[in-house]
Structure 1
Amino acid sequence: MSDLITQFAQAQKDVTSLAERPDNQTMLQLYSLFKQATAGDVTGERPGMMDFINRAKFDSWEKLKGQTADQAMQAYVDLVKGLMA
């Protein structure tokens, strides 16, 4: 297992043990980076305008379109490290 994958797995564990829950914008960023790293580019149709939460998640993930899994993993690790500091 590569070092980045190990760091990514550790960051996933670390994010659950944060002293405070991150704000909604940071949570969206964590979600979209995780999805980009594990599933690749967003697929499917954009949720309807009354589905606020899933629409926000879709839009956040869509902004990362074209980013490689390694880039998304590194950004996720960096974000979690910043939250831990």
Structure 2
Amino acid sequence: MGLQEEFEEYAEKATSLPPSTKDADKLILYGLYKQATAGPVNTSRPGIFSPKERAKWDAWKAVDGKSKEEAMGDYITKVKQLQEAAA
């Protein structure tokens, strides 16, 4: 299985993580997913009155500079860790 296929498989598995998954972990996954699928941040930072969107943007910006492959690998690893923690 190639990296792209494995990434897509784990992206699907991430949707079934338990509701108890911490927001910080969800933001890490969001940032890695965006970096892997959209590349570097290509929008301006949302304003202070959009705290949720701002947190998501910050999570994406935090992984700026990672290659698509690096972001995919890190995403897969993080989903595996969260699945193990939930088991």
Q: TM-score, normalised by structure 1?
A: 0.91
For 1:76, the equivalent position in structure 2 comes to 75
Note the residue ranges of structure 2 that are not aligned, 5 or more in a row. none
Distance in 1, matches of 2:30 and 2:43, equals: 17
Q: Which amino acid aligns with 1:80?
A: V
Matched, 1:43 2:42: yes
Q: Distance in 2 between matches of 1:44 and 1:84?
A: 31
Q: Which runs of 5+ in 1 are unaligned?
A: none
**Amino acid across the alignment from 1:28:** L
Amino acid at match of 1:78: T
- 1: CA distance, partners of 2:24 / 2:12: 20
- Aligned CA RMSD, in angstroms, stands at 1.1
SS of match in other structure, 2:24: helix
2:14 counterpart residue number: 15
Equivalent in the alignment of 1:53: 52
CA shift digits 1:2-29 (9 cap, x unpaired): 61111101101111223x1211001101
Output the CA distance in 2 between the equivalents of 1:84 and 1:44: 31
Alignment TM-score, normalising by the size of structure 2: 0.89
Identity of paired residues, percent? 37
